[in-house]
């Protein structure tokens, strides 16, 4: 457990919790601890799904501007590379992940949320990539993951203007997947994650690898990747027990060991 980032596990669901008041700004230590939490969540067999959570007040307000303002180019190159690598480790967790967004997710905070497979937010949240207002651009996925998620034209509007987006518009744009009452954000995210706690972990890993990996390929090679991952599941116990249960008991009644 780090000073600012922890991984708490309960019933197969791991919660990566940021706790650096007042706004969970992403400094050197936070990005390093996020990387450690991502590695732990990846490696632990008792973690079957992951929630990324900043607490009841705010998800994350972005990078620590006071810390960044006086850095040299060489220093920022090291920090920017490290932050991108840390967020890529979160995006690469081979399990279902969901960001539980309260308050706001701005700049690096939105980039953090974009690493998740799904985003649940309160109806009072604001999200955005306001870096242009500082004379810079997003540097840890905001120009890449956002464009892949909502398309280049909409991403350019948000990045060029740096404007804040309220929950209803963010839902319509596809940045958010579910909007709930502010007090229900974590419970809604947990409800989604918990459905995978006893699921076929190897198949879920393969599904994530097929979708994420296929986005970087043309259709023909994406289909080849899918076929390899699909057929590889015939080497798992979950495939055998899942199909046996279907034949004997009908759909939706299988129990899985994640092997």
Q: Annotated active-site positions, please?
A: 111, 131
CB 99 within 8 A of CB 59: yes
> What distance in Å separates the CA atoms of residue 143 and residue 113, rounded to the nearest whole number?
14
Backbone angles phi, psi at 107, to 5 degrees: 60, -125
What secondary structure does DSSP assign to the chain, as a single string? Answer: --SSEEEEEETTEEEEEE--TTTT-B-HHHHHHHHHHHHHHHH-TT--EEEEE--SS-SB--B-HHHHHT--HHHHHHHHHHHHHHHHHHHT-SS-EEEEE-SEEETHHHHHHTTSSEEEEETT-EEE-GGGGGT----SSTTTHHHHHH-HHHHHHHHHH---EEHHHHHHHTS-SEEE-GGGHHHHHHHHHHTTTTS-HHHHHHHHHHHHHHTTS-HHHHHHHHHHHHHHGGGSHHHHHHHHHHHHH-TT-------
């Amino acid at each position: 457990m780090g000073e600012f980032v922890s991984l708490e596990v309960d019933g197969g669901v791991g919660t990566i919790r940021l706790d650096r008041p007042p706004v969970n700004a992403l400094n050197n230590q936070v990005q390093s601890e996020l990387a450690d939490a991502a590695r732990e969540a990846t490696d632990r067999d008792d973690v079957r799904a992951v929630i990324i959570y900043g607490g009841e007040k705010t998800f994350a307000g972005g990078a620590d501007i006071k810390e960044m303002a006086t850095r040299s180019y060489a220093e920022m190159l090291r920090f920017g590379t490290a932050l991108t690598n840390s967020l890529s480790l979160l995006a690469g967790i081979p399990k279902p992940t969901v960001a539980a967004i309260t308050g706001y997710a701005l700049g690096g905070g939105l980039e953090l949320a974009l690493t998740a497979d799904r985003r649940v937010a309160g109806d009072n949240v604001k999200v955005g990539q306001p870096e242009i207002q500082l004379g810079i651009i997003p540097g840890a996925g905001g120009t890449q993951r956002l464009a892949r998620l909502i398309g280049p034209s909409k991403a350019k509007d948000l990045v060029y203007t740096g404007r804040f987006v309220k929950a209803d518009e963010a839902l319509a744009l596809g940045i958010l997947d579910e909007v709930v009452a502010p007090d229900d954000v974590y419970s809604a995210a947990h409800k989604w994650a918990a459905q995978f706690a006893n699921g076929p972990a190897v198949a879920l890993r393969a599904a994530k690898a097929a979708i994420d990996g296929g986005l970087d390929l043309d259709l023909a090679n994406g289909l080849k990747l899918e076929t390899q991952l699909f057929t590889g599941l015939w080497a798992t116990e979950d495939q055998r027990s899942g199909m046996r249960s279907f034949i004997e008991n009908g759909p939706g009644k299988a129990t899985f060991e994640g092997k």
